[in-house]
Structure 1
Protein backbone atom coordinates (compact mmCIF):
# COMPACT_ATOMS: atom_id res chain seq x y z
CA UNK A 1 0.00 0.00 0.00
CA UNK A 2 1.32 3.43 -0.84
CA UNK A 3 0.47 7.09 -1.21
CA UNK A 4 2.24 9.80 -3.11
CA UNK A 5 2.06 12.78 -5.40
CA UNK A 6 2.27 13.23 -9.15
CA UNK A 7 3.29 16.60 -10.59
CA UNK A 8 1.28 17.57 -13.68
CA UNK A 9 2.47 19.53 -16.70
CA UNK A 10 1.41 22.82 -15.09
CA UNK A 11 3.15 22.03 -11.81
CA UNK A 12 0.11 20.92 -9.80
CA UNK A 13 0.77 18.20 -7.24
CA UNK A 14 -1.96 15.54 -7.25
CA UNK A 15 -2.21 13.27 -4.20
CA UNK A 16 -3.05 9.61 -4.77
CA UNK A 17 -3.58 6.34 -2.87
CA UNK A 18 -2.53 3.05 -4.44
CA UNK A 19 -3.40 -0.09 -2.46
CA UNK A 20 -3.20 -3.78 -3.25
CA UNK A 21 -1.29 -6.16 -5.53
CA UNK A 22 0.37 -4.39 -8.45
CA UNK A 23 -0.53 -7.24 -10.80
CA UNK A 24 -4.23 -7.23 -9.86
CA UNK A 25 -6.89 -5.50 -11.96
CA UNK A 26 -7.14 -1.84 -10.92
CA UNK A 27 -10.37 -0.23 -9.81
CA UNK A 28 -9.98 3.53 -9.84
CA UNK A 29 -12.24 5.92 -7.92
CA UNK A 30 -13.04 9.55 -8.80
CA UNK A 31 -14.62 11.57 -5.98
CA UNK A 32 -17.39 14.16 -6.00
CA UNK A 33 -17.43 17.87 -5.20
CA UNK A 34 -16.14 19.20 -2.79
CA UNK A 35 -14.70 16.02 -1.28
CA UNK A 36 -11.53 13.94 -1.57
CA UNK A 37 -10.40 10.37 -2.12
CA UNK A 38 -11.33 9.70 1.53
CA UNK A 39 -14.96 9.55 0.41
CA UNK A 40 -14.17 6.16 -1.14
CA UNK A 41 -13.09 4.41 2.09
CA UNK A 42 -16.00 1.94 2.04
CA UNK A 43 -15.31 1.00 -1.58
CA UNK A 44 -11.51 0.87 -1.43
CA UNK A 45 -11.49 -1.42 1.60
CA UNK A 46 -14.20 -3.66 0.10
CA UNK A 47 -12.53 -4.10 -3.28
CA UNK A 48 -9.10 -4.49 -1.71
CA UNK A 49 -10.50 -7.44 0.25
CA UNK A 50 -11.85 -8.83 -3.03
CA UNK A 51 -8.33 -8.96 -4.45
CA UNK A 52 -8.27 -5.84 -6.60
CA UNK A 53 -5.73 -3.05 -6.80
CA UNK A 54 -7.56 0.12 -5.71
CA UNK A 55 -6.52 3.64 -6.61
CA UNK A 56 -7.99 7.06 -5.83
CA UNK A 57 -6.71 10.62 -6.05
CA UNK A 58 -7.63 14.06 -4.73
CA UNK A 59 -8.74 16.43 -7.50
CA UNK A 60 -6.69 19.63 -7.87
CA UNK A 61 -7.68 22.07 -5.14
CA UNK A 62 -9.32 19.28 -3.13
CA UNK A 63 -8.04 17.23 -0.21
CA UNK A 64 -4.25 17.03 -0.14
CA UNK A 65 -3.60 18.12 -3.73
CA UNK A 66 -2.21 21.57 -4.55
CA UNK A 67 -4.51 24.51 -3.91
CA UNK A 68 -3.78 26.06 -7.28
CA UNK A 69 -5.62 29.06 -8.67
CA UNK A 70 -6.26 27.76 -12.18
CA UNK A 71 -7.41 24.69 -14.06
CA UNK A 72 -10.66 24.04 -12.23
CA UNK A 73 -12.45 22.54 -15.23
CA UNK A 74 -13.20 19.09 -16.63
CA UNK A 75 -10.30 19.17 -19.09
CA UNK A 76 -7.76 19.69 -16.31
CA UNK A 77 -9.55 17.26 -13.98
CA UNK A 78 -9.24 14.55 -16.64
CA UNK A 79 -5.66 15.36 -17.63
CA UNK A 80 -4.59 15.41 -13.97
CA UNK A 81 -6.17 11.98 -13.53
CA UNK A 82 -4.43 10.76 -16.68
CA UNK A 83 -1.07 11.90 -15.27
CA UNK A 84 -1.64 9.81 -12.13
CA UNK A 85 -2.69 6.71 -14.04
CA UNK A 86 0.19 6.99 -16.50
CA UNK A 87 2.59 7.33 -13.57
CA UNK A 88 1.15 4.17 -12.02
CA UNK A 89 0.94 2.48 -15.45
CA UNK A 90 -2.62 1.33 -14.86
CA UNK A 91 -4.06 -0.95 -17.54
CA UNK A 92 -7.35 -2.82 -17.90
CA UNK A 93 -8.77 -0.51 -15.24
CA UNK A 94 -12.36 -0.03 -14.13
CA UNK A 95 -13.09 3.64 -13.47
CA UNK A 96 -15.80 4.52 -10.95
CA UNK A 97 -16.96 8.12 -10.63
CA UNK A 98 -19.47 9.72 -8.29
CA UNK A 99 -21.24 13.00 -9.07
CA UNK A 100 -18.59 15.44 -10.36
CA UNK A 101 -16.24 12.46 -10.39
CA UNK A 102 -18.59 10.89 -12.89
CA UNK A 103 -17.99 13.83 -15.18
CA UNK A 104 -14.27 13.38 -14.66
CA UNK A 105 -14.59 9.68 -15.55
CA UNK A 106 -16.51 10.49 -18.74
CA UNK A 107 -13.94 13.06 -19.90
CA UNK A 108 -10.98 10.86 -18.90
CA UNK A 109 -12.31 7.65 -20.47
CA UNK A 110 -13.36 9.35 -23.71
CA UNK A 111 -10.32 11.54 -24.24
CA UNK A 112 -7.47 9.74 -22.45
CA UNK A 113 -8.28 6.23 -21.26
CA UNK A 114 -9.72 4.66 -24.41
CA UNK A 115 -7.14 6.24 -26.77
CA UNK A 116 -4.34 4.98 -24.50
CA UNK A 117 -5.91 1.51 -24.20
CA UNK A 118 -6.03 1.69 -20.41
CA UNK A 119 -9.76 1.26 -19.66
CA UNK A 120 -11.81 -1.94 -19.41
CA UNK A 121 -15.10 -0.67 -17.96
CA UNK A 122 -16.64 2.37 -16.29
CA UNK A 123 -19.20 3.01 -13.57
CA UNK A 124 -21.12 6.29 -13.28
CA UNK A 125 -22.77 6.80 -9.88
CA UNK A 126 -25.21 9.73 -9.47
CA UNK A 127 -23.03 11.42 -12.07
CA UNK A 128 -23.44 14.93 -13.49
CA UNK A 129 -23.24 14.26 -17.28
CA UNK A 130 -24.44 15.17 -19.76
CA UNK A 131 -25.01 18.60 -18.15
CA UNK A 132 -26.79 19.81 -15.03
CA UNK A 133 -27.64 23.37 -16.10
CA UNK A 134 -30.57 24.18 -18.34
CA UNK A 135 -29.51 24.81 -21.94
CA UNK A 136 -31.14 24.90 -25.35
CA UNK A 137 -30.03 21.30 -25.92
CA UNK A 138 -31.16 20.19 -22.45
CA UNK A 139 -34.18 22.33 -21.53
CA UNK A 140 -35.03 20.06 -18.58
CA UNK A 141 -31.82 21.02 -16.76
CA UNK A 142 -31.72 23.05 -13.57
CA UNK A 143 -31.95 26.86 -13.91
CA UNK A 144 -28.75 28.85 -13.44
CA UNK A 145 -30.26 30.42 -10.31
CA UNK A 146 -29.70 27.11 -8.52
CA UNK A 147 -25.96 27.22 -9.12
CA UNK A 148 -25.75 30.94 -8.46
CA UNK A 149 -27.30 30.10 -5.08
CA UNK A 150 -24.52 27.58 -4.45
CA UNK A 151 -21.92 30.22 -5.25
CA UNK A 152 -23.54 32.82 -3.02
CA UNK A 153 -23.83 30.41 -0.10
CA UNK A 154 -20.21 29.29 -0.47
CA UNK A 155 -18.93 32.87 -0.55
CA UNK A 156 -21.06 33.91 2.41
CA UNK A 157 -20.12 31.05 4.74
CA UNK A 158 -18.53 27.95 3.24
CA UNK A 159 -18.49 26.07 6.55
CA UNK A 160 -22.19 26.61 7.16
CA UNK A 161 -23.09 25.81 3.53
CA UNK A 162 -21.18 22.52 3.63
CA UNK A 163 -22.82 21.59 6.94
CA UNK A 164 -26.25 22.27 5.47
CA UNK A 165 -25.60 20.16 2.37
CA UNK A 166 -24.26 17.17 4.29
CA UNK A 167 -26.93 17.25 7.00
CA UNK A 168 -29.75 17.72 4.51
CA UNK A 169 -30.17 16.73 0.87
CA UNK A 170 -26.86 14.98 0.12
CA UNK A 171 -27.66 11.84 2.13
CA UNK A 172 -31.40 12.40 2.36
CA UNK A 173 -31.14 13.17 6.08
CA UNK A 174 -33.87 15.78 5.56
CA UNK A 175 -36.41 13.05 4.75
CA UNK A 176 -38.89 11.89 7.38
CA UNK A 177 -37.91 8.67 9.08
CA UNK A 178 -34.30 8.63 7.83
CA UNK A 179 -31.66 7.96 10.49
CA UNK A 180 -29.30 10.93 10.67
CA UNK A 181 -25.69 9.74 10.87
CA UNK A 182 -23.75 12.58 12.50
CA UNK A 183 -20.27 11.04 11.91
CA UNK A 184 -21.07 10.83 8.19
CA UNK A 185 -22.01 14.53 8.19
CA UNK A 186 -18.83 15.39 10.09
CA UNK A 187 -16.67 13.43 7.65
CA UNK A 188 -18.25 15.13 4.62
CA UNK A 189 -17.67 18.53 6.24
CA UNK A 190 -14.06 17.62 7.13
CA UNK A 191 -13.26 16.62 3.56
CA UNK A 192 -14.84 19.74 2.12
CA UNK A 193 -13.12 22.15 4.47
CA UNK A 194 -9.72 20.55 3.77
CA UNK A 195 -9.91 21.76 0.18
CA UNK A 196 -9.65 25.22 -1.33
CA UNK A 197 -12.60 27.60 -1.33
CA UNK A 198 -11.43 28.89 -4.72
CA UNK A 199 -11.37 25.40 -6.23
CA UNK A 200 -14.81 24.67 -4.84
CA UNK A 201 -16.22 27.97 -6.12
CA UNK A 202 -14.80 27.48 -9.62
CA UNK A 203 -15.81 23.84 -9.56
CA UNK A 204 -19.50 24.75 -9.47
CA UNK A 205 -19.21 25.97 -13.06
CA UNK A 206 -17.28 22.84 -14.04
CA UNK A 207 -19.85 20.38 -12.72
CA UNK A 208 -22.93 22.33 -13.80
CA UNK A 209 -22.11 23.88 -17.17
CA UNK A 210 -19.84 21.35 -18.91
CA UNK A 211 -21.70 19.66 -21.76
CA UNK A 212 -20.42 16.08 -21.87
CA UNK A 213 -22.72 14.67 -24.51
CA UNK A 214 -19.76 13.91 -26.78
CA UNK A 215 -17.86 12.24 -23.94
CA UNK A 216 -20.74 9.88 -23.20
CA UNK A 217 -21.12 8.94 -26.87
CA UNK A 218 -17.38 8.19 -27.06
CA UNK A 219 -17.38 5.88 -24.01
CA UNK A 220 -17.46 2.63 -25.97
CA UNK A 221 -16.50 0.44 -22.98
CA UNK A 222 -19.23 -1.32 -20.96
CA UNK A 223 -20.59 1.23 -18.49
CA UNK A 224 -22.76 0.68 -15.43
CA UNK A 225 -25.03 3.63 -14.58
CA UNK A 226 -26.34 3.82 -11.01
CA UNK A 227 -28.52 6.40 -9.29
CA UNK A 228 -31.20 6.73 -6.63
CA UNK A 229 -34.62 8.06 -7.54
CA UNK A 230 -34.57 10.28 -4.42
CA UNK A 231 -31.36 12.03 -5.44
CA UNK A 232 -31.92 15.66 -4.40
CA UNK A 233 -28.61 16.90 -5.82
CA UNK A 234 -28.51 15.49 -9.37
CA UNK A 235 -32.02 14.73 -10.71
CA UNK A 236 -31.91 11.20 -12.10
CA UNK A 237 -34.24 11.83 -15.04
CA UNK A 238 -31.80 14.44 -16.38
CA UNK A 239 -28.72 12.41 -15.48
CA UNK A 240 -28.63 8.60 -15.34
CA UNK A 241 -31.60 8.06 -17.66
CA UNK A 242 -30.06 10.35 -20.28
CA UNK A 243 -26.61 8.79 -19.80
CA UNK A 244 -28.05 5.35 -20.50
CA UNK A 245 -29.49 6.60 -23.79
CA UNK A 246 -26.28 8.27 -24.94
CA UNK A 247 -23.74 5.63 -23.89
CA UNK A 248 -22.99 2.96 -26.54
CA UNK A 249 -22.92 0.08 -24.02
CA UNK A 250 -24.85 0.97 -20.87
CA UNK A 251 -26.51 -0.93 -18.04
CA UNK A 252 -28.84 1.26 -15.97
CA UNK A 253 -30.01 0.62 -12.42
CA UNK A 254 -32.14 3.11 -10.48
CA UNK A 255 -32.58 2.43 -6.74
CA UNK A 256 -35.93 3.33 -5.19
CA UNK A 257 -35.54 5.83 -2.35
CA UNK A 258 -31.74 6.07 -2.48
CA UNK A 259 -30.02 9.45 -2.04
CA UNK A 260 -27.14 11.17 -3.78
CA UNK A 261 -24.81 9.88 -1.06
CA UNK A 262 -25.85 6.25 -1.46
CA UNK A 263 -22.24 5.08 -1.87
CA UNK A 264 -21.77 5.78 1.83
CA UNK A 265 -25.14 5.09 3.43
CA UNK A 266 -25.97 2.14 1.15
CA UNK A 267 -22.43 0.92 0.54
CA UNK A 268 -23.31 -2.76 0.98
CA UNK A 269 -25.81 -2.63 -1.90
CA UNK A 270 -23.69 -0.51 -4.23
CA UNK A 271 -20.49 -2.44 -3.61
CA UNK A 272 -22.15 -5.77 -4.40
CA UNK A 273 -23.65 -4.44 -7.64
CA UNK A 274 -20.37 -2.87 -8.79
CA UNK A 275 -18.49 -6.09 -7.97
CA UNK A 276 -20.94 -8.16 -10.03
CA UNK A 277 -20.50 -5.77 -12.97
CA UNK A 278 -16.71 -5.82 -12.74
CA UNK A 279 -16.58 -9.62 -12.62
CA UNK A 280 -19.21 -10.25 -15.30
Structure 2
Protein backbone atom coordinates (compact mmCIF):
# COMPACT_ATOMS: atom_id res chain seq x y z
CA UNK A 1 0.00 0.00 0.00
CA UNK A 2 1.06 3.59 -0.61
CA UNK A 3 1.55 5.20 2.77
CA UNK A 4 3.67 7.63 4.74
CA UNK A 5 4.52 7.83 8.42
CA UNK A 6 4.00 11.23 10.03
CA UNK A 7 6.23 12.83 12.65
CA UNK A 8 4.07 11.39 15.46
CA UNK A 9 4.27 7.87 14.02
CA UNK A 10 0.85 7.73 12.33
CA UNK A 11 0.62 5.73 9.12
CA UNK A 12 -1.40 7.59 6.47
CA UNK A 13 -2.69 5.63 3.46
CA UNK A 14 -3.04 7.45 0.15
CA UNK A 15 -3.91 6.87 -3.51
CA UNK A 16 -1.95 8.53 -6.30
CA UNK A 17 -3.12 7.88 -9.86
CA UNK A 18 -2.16 9.36 -13.20
CA UNK A 19 -0.17 12.41 -14.21
CA UNK A 20 -0.80 16.06 -14.96
CA UNK A 21 -1.96 18.83 -12.64
CA UNK A 22 -2.59 17.28 -9.21
CA UNK A 23 -6.05 17.29 -7.66
CA UNK A 24 -6.12 16.38 -3.97
CA UNK A 25 -9.37 15.13 -2.44
CA UNK A 26 -10.19 15.40 1.30
CA UNK A 27 -12.99 13.08 2.42
CA UNK A 28 -15.82 13.60 4.89
CA UNK A 29 -16.52 12.05 8.28
CA UNK A 30 -16.48 9.07 8.96
CA UNK A 31 -15.53 7.90 5.49
CA UNK A 32 -12.34 7.26 3.52
CA UNK A 33 -10.71 8.18 0.24
CA UNK A 34 -13.02 5.61 -1.39
CA UNK A 35 -15.81 8.18 -1.16
CA UNK A 36 -14.13 10.01 -4.04
CA UNK A 37 -14.30 7.12 -6.54
CA UNK A 38 -16.68 8.96 -8.90
CA UNK A 39 -14.45 12.03 -8.95
CA UNK A 40 -11.08 10.30 -9.05
CA UNK A 41 -11.99 8.14 -12.04
CA UNK A 42 -13.57 11.09 -13.87
CA UNK A 43 -10.59 13.41 -13.43
CA UNK A 44 -8.05 10.66 -14.05
CA UNK A 45 -9.67 10.13 -17.44
CA UNK A 46 -9.57 13.90 -18.08
CA UNK A 47 -5.81 14.07 -17.71
CA UNK A 48 -5.34 15.01 -14.07
CA UNK A 49 -3.19 13.39 -11.41
CA UNK A 50 -5.62 12.44 -8.62
CA UNK A 51 -4.60 11.97 -4.99
CA UNK A 52 -6.64 11.13 -1.91
CA UNK A 53 -5.68 9.94 1.55
CA UNK A 54 -7.49 8.29 4.44
CA UNK A 55 -7.60 10.62 7.45
CA UNK A 56 -5.89 9.29 10.59
CA UNK A 57 -8.20 6.81 12.30
CA UNK A 58 -10.23 6.39 9.09
CA UNK A 59 -10.11 3.80 6.33
CA UNK A 60 -6.70 2.16 5.99
CA UNK A 61 -4.72 4.69 8.02
CA UNK A 62 -3.56 3.99 11.57
CA UNK A 63 -6.23 3.83 14.28
CA UNK A 64 -4.15 5.95 16.64
CA UNK A 65 -5.56 7.12 19.95
CA UNK A 66 -4.69 10.80 19.56
CA UNK A 67 -4.39 13.67 17.13
CA UNK A 68 -8.04 13.70 16.08
CA UNK A 69 -8.25 17.44 15.56
CA UNK A 70 -8.03 19.80 12.60
CA UNK A 71 -4.44 20.82 13.24
CA UNK A 72 -3.29 17.21 12.98
CA UNK A 73 -5.60 16.50 10.03
CA UNK A 74 -4.11 19.43 8.11
CA UNK A 75 -0.56 18.49 9.08
CA UNK A 76 -1.15 14.93 7.85
CA UNK A 77 -2.42 16.29 4.52
CA UNK A 78 0.67 18.48 4.35
CA UNK A 79 2.89 15.46 4.97
CA UNK A 80 1.32 13.69 1.98
CA UNK A 81 1.69 16.78 -0.22
CA UNK A 82 5.32 17.19 0.76
CA UNK A 83 6.09 13.50 0.29
CA UNK A 84 4.65 13.62 -3.23
CA UNK A 85 6.09 17.12 -3.83
CA UNK A 86 2.75 18.41 -5.08
CA UNK A 87 2.81 21.82 -6.76
CA UNK A 88 0.09 23.85 -8.51
CA UNK A 89 -2.41 21.53 -6.82
CA UNK A 90 -6.18 21.88 -6.66
CA UNK A 91 -7.58 20.82 -3.28
CA UNK A 92 -11.17 19.61 -3.01
CA UNK A 93 -12.75 19.02 0.40
CA UNK A 94 -16.17 17.63 1.27
CA UNK A 95 -17.83 18.21 4.65
CA UNK A 96 -15.19 17.58 7.36
CA UNK A 97 -12.68 17.30 4.53
CA UNK A 98 -13.61 20.87 3.62
CA UNK A 99 -12.43 21.94 7.04
CA UNK A 100 -9.25 19.94 6.66
CA UNK A 101 -8.59 21.41 3.21
CA UNK A 102 -9.28 24.94 4.45
CA UNK A 103 -6.80 24.63 7.29
CA UNK A 104 -4.24 22.95 5.04
CA UNK A 105 -4.39 25.67 2.38
CA UNK A 106 -4.29 28.48 4.99
CA UNK A 107 -1.42 27.10 7.05
CA UNK A 108 0.59 24.76 4.83
CA UNK A 109 -0.28 25.49 1.23
CA UNK A 110 1.92 28.48 0.39
CA UNK A 111 3.56 27.91 -2.99
CA UNK A 112 1.81 24.59 -3.52
CA UNK A 113 -1.87 25.38 -4.09
CA UNK A 114 -3.54 26.72 -7.25
CA UNK A 115 -7.22 26.49 -6.30
CA UNK A 116 -9.57 25.27 -3.57
CA UNK A 117 -13.05 23.74 -3.69
CA UNK A 118 -15.33 23.40 -0.67
CA UNK A 119 -18.30 21.07 -1.10
CA UNK A 120 -20.94 20.85 1.63
CA UNK A 121 -18.11 21.97 3.88
CA UNK A 122 -18.21 22.63 7.63
CA UNK A 123 -16.44 26.05 7.73
CA UNK A 124 -16.60 28.58 9.17
CA UNK A 125 -18.06 26.97 12.35
CA UNK A 126 -20.86 24.46 12.83
CA UNK A 127 -21.49 24.69 16.58
CA UNK A 128 -23.54 27.44 18.17
CA UNK A 129 -21.50 29.87 20.26
CA UNK A 130 -21.90 33.42 21.51
CA UNK A 131 -20.14 34.60 18.38
CA UNK A 132 -21.95 32.15 16.11
CA UNK A 133 -25.59 32.24 17.28
CA UNK A 134 -26.89 30.65 14.09
CA UNK A 135 -24.91 27.45 14.59
CA UNK A 136 -26.28 24.12 15.73
CA UNK A 137 -26.56 23.57 19.51
CA UNK A 138 -23.84 21.37 20.99
CA UNK A 139 -26.63 19.01 22.09
CA UNK A 140 -27.00 18.03 18.42
CA UNK A 141 -23.42 16.79 18.38
CA UNK A 142 -23.83 15.18 21.80
CA UNK A 143 -26.62 13.16 20.21
CA UNK A 144 -24.29 12.00 17.45
CA UNK A 145 -21.73 10.89 20.02
CA UNK A 146 -24.36 9.01 22.02
CA UNK A 147 -25.66 7.21 18.94
CA UNK A 148 -22.14 6.28 17.84
CA UNK A 149 -21.22 4.89 21.26
CA UNK A 150 -24.48 2.96 21.63
CA UNK A 151 -24.46 1.18 18.25
CA UNK A 152 -22.08 2.59 15.67
CA UNK A 153 -23.10 0.15 12.95
CA UNK A 154 -26.82 1.00 13.23
CA UNK A 155 -26.08 4.71 13.50
CA UNK A 156 -24.15 4.63 10.23
CA UNK A 157 -26.98 2.70 8.55
CA UNK A 158 -29.52 5.26 9.75
CA UNK A 159 -27.48 8.29 8.74
CA UNK A 160 -26.67 7.08 5.24
CA UNK A 161 -30.16 5.76 4.49
CA UNK A 162 -31.72 8.99 5.72
CA UNK A 163 -30.50 12.59 5.80
CA UNK A 164 -26.98 12.25 4.38
CA UNK A 165 -28.20 11.60 0.84
CA UNK A 166 -31.68 13.03 1.27
CA UNK A 167 -33.18 9.55 1.11
CA UNK A 168 -35.62 10.60 3.84
CA UNK A 169 -37.27 13.15 1.56
CA UNK A 170 -40.67 12.36 0.00
CA UNK A 171 -40.35 10.71 -3.38
CA UNK A 172 -36.62 10.03 -3.09
CA UNK A 173 -35.73 6.37 -3.55
CA UNK A 174 -33.06 4.84 -1.33
CA UNK A 175 -30.10 3.56 -3.35
CA UNK A 176 -29.06 0.60 -1.24
CA UNK A 177 -25.63 0.20 -2.82
CA UNK A 178 -24.80 3.80 -1.86
CA UNK A 179 -25.95 3.16 1.72
CA UNK A 180 -23.92 -0.06 1.88
CA UNK A 181 -20.78 1.64 0.59
CA UNK A 182 -21.13 4.48 3.13
CA UNK A 183 -21.56 1.95 5.94
CA UNK A 184 -18.57 -0.09 4.68
CA UNK A 185 -16.29 2.93 4.70
CA UNK A 186 -17.45 4.05 8.13
CA UNK A 187 -16.94 0.66 9.73
CA UNK A 188 -13.40 0.43 8.34
CA UNK A 189 -12.36 3.29 10.60
CA UNK A 190 -11.89 3.44 14.35
CA UNK A 191 -14.71 4.21 16.77
CA UNK A 192 -12.46 6.44 18.89
CA UNK A 193 -11.30 8.49 15.89
CA UNK A 194 -14.88 8.95 14.74
CA UNK A 195 -16.11 9.86 18.23
CA UNK A 196 -13.39 12.50 18.69
CA UNK A 197 -13.79 13.65 15.12
CA UNK A 198 -17.28 14.96 15.91
CA UNK A 199 -15.75 17.64 18.13
CA UNK A 200 -13.16 18.41 15.44
CA UNK A 201 -15.69 19.05 12.70
CA UNK A 202 -18.28 20.80 14.85
CA UNK A 203 -16.28 23.04 17.18
CA UNK A 204 -13.31 24.14 15.07
CA UNK A 205 -13.52 27.79 14.02
CA UNK A 206 -12.13 28.33 10.51
CA UNK A 207 -12.87 32.04 10.26
CA UNK A 208 -9.25 33.17 10.25
CA UNK A 209 -8.24 30.36 7.89
CA UNK A 210 -10.85 31.46 5.35
CA UNK A 211 -9.72 35.09 5.60
CA UNK A 212 -6.11 34.06 4.96
CA UNK A 213 -6.79 32.10 1.76
CA UNK A 214 -6.06 34.04 -1.42
CA UNK A 215 -6.41 31.38 -4.13
CA UNK A 216 -9.59 31.12 -6.25
CA UNK A 217 -12.13 29.08 -4.29
CA UNK A 218 -15.34 27.44 -5.48
CA UNK A 219 -17.92 26.97 -2.72
CA UNK A 220 -20.55 24.33 -3.66
CA UNK A 221 -23.50 23.50 -1.43
CA UNK A 222 -26.94 21.95 -1.67
CA UNK A 223 -29.73 24.08 -0.25
CA UNK A 224 -31.36 20.94 1.20
CA UNK A 225 -28.23 19.86 3.05
CA UNK A 226 -29.54 18.35 6.32
CA UNK A 227 -26.07 17.64 7.72
CA UNK A 228 -24.30 20.98 7.23
CA UNK A 229 -27.02 23.64 6.85
CA UNK A 230 -26.12 26.09 4.10
CA UNK A 231 -27.06 29.29 5.93
CA UNK A 232 -24.30 28.91 8.51
CA UNK A 233 -21.65 27.38 6.30
CA UNK A 234 -21.31 28.11 2.58
CA UNK A 235 -23.09 31.46 2.65
CA UNK A 236 -20.79 32.70 5.41
CA UNK A 237 -17.61 31.13 3.99
CA UNK A 238 -18.16 32.77 0.61
CA UNK A 239 -18.18 36.18 2.31
CA UNK A 240 -14.97 35.51 4.24
CA UNK A 241 -12.91 34.21 1.32
CA UNK A 242 -11.05 36.73 -0.82
CA UNK A 243 -11.72 35.09 -4.19
CA UNK A 244 -14.85 32.99 -3.77
CA UNK A 245 -17.41 31.76 -6.28
CA UNK A 246 -20.57 30.41 -4.65
CA UNK A 247 -22.68 27.79 -6.43
CA UNK A 248 -25.90 26.64 -4.74
CA UNK A 249 -27.67 23.46 -5.87
CA UNK A 250 -31.42 23.61 -5.41
CA UNK A 251 -32.80 20.63 -3.51
CA UNK A 252 -29.49 18.79 -3.35
CA UNK A 253 -28.41 16.89 -0.20
CA UNK A 254 -25.15 16.70 1.70
CA UNK A 255 -23.95 13.67 -0.26
CA UNK A 256 -24.56 15.29 -3.65
CA UNK A 257 -21.07 14.37 -4.92
CA UNK A 258 -22.27 10.76 -5.04
CA UNK A 259 -25.94 10.97 -6.01
CA UNK A 260 -25.42 13.87 -8.44
CA UNK A 261 -21.87 13.06 -9.48
CA UNK A 262 -22.30 13.76 -13.21
CA UNK A 263 -23.43 17.35 -12.72
CA UNK A 264 -20.93 18.17 -10.00
CA UNK A 265 -18.05 16.64 -11.92
CA UNK A 266 -18.87 18.84 -14.92
CA UNK A 267 -18.93 21.93 -12.72
CA UNK A 268 -15.67 20.97 -11.04
CA UNK A 269 -14.00 20.43 -14.41
CA UNK A 270 -15.15 23.85 -15.62
CA UNK A 271 -13.69 25.47 -12.50
CA UNK A 272 -10.42 23.55 -12.80
CA UNK A 273 -10.05 24.72 -16.42
CA UNK A 274 -11.11 28.32 -15.81
Where does residue 30 of structure 1 map in the other structure? 26
Where does residue 15 of structure 1 map in the other structure? 13
Alpha-carbon distance in structure 1 between the residues aligned to 2:36 and 2:119:
12
Report the number of matched residues. Answer: 274
Alpha-carbon distance in structure 2 between the residues aligned to 1:264 and 1:71:
29
Counterparts of residues 1-280 of structure 1 (less than 5 Å): 3-21=1-19, 24-114=20-110, 117-280=111-274
Structure 2 gaps, min length 5 = none
1:58-117: CA deviation from partner (whole Å, max 9, x where unpaired): 000000000000000000000000001100000000000000000000000000012xx0
Alpha-carbon distance in structure 1 between the residues aligned to 2:272 and 2:227:
27
TM-score by length of 1: 0.97
Q: 1:18 aligns to what SS in structure 2?
A: strand
Alpha-carbon distance in structure 1 between the residues aligned to 2:97 and 2:151:
24
The CA deviation at 1:252 is 0.1
1:246-274: CA deviation from partner (whole Å, max 9, x where unpaired): 00000000000000000000000110001
Q: 1:274 aligns to what SS in structure 2?
A: helix
Alpha-carbon distance in structure 2 between the residues aligned to 1:229 and 1:179:
19
Alpha-carbon distance in structure 2 between the residues aligned to 1:64 and 1:259:
27
Q: 1:11 aligns to what SS in structure 2?
A: coil
The CA deviation at 1:9 is 0.3
Alpha-carbon distance in structure 2 between the residues aligned to 1:152 and 1:219:
35
RMSD of aligned Cα (Å): 0.5
TM-score by length of 2: 0.99
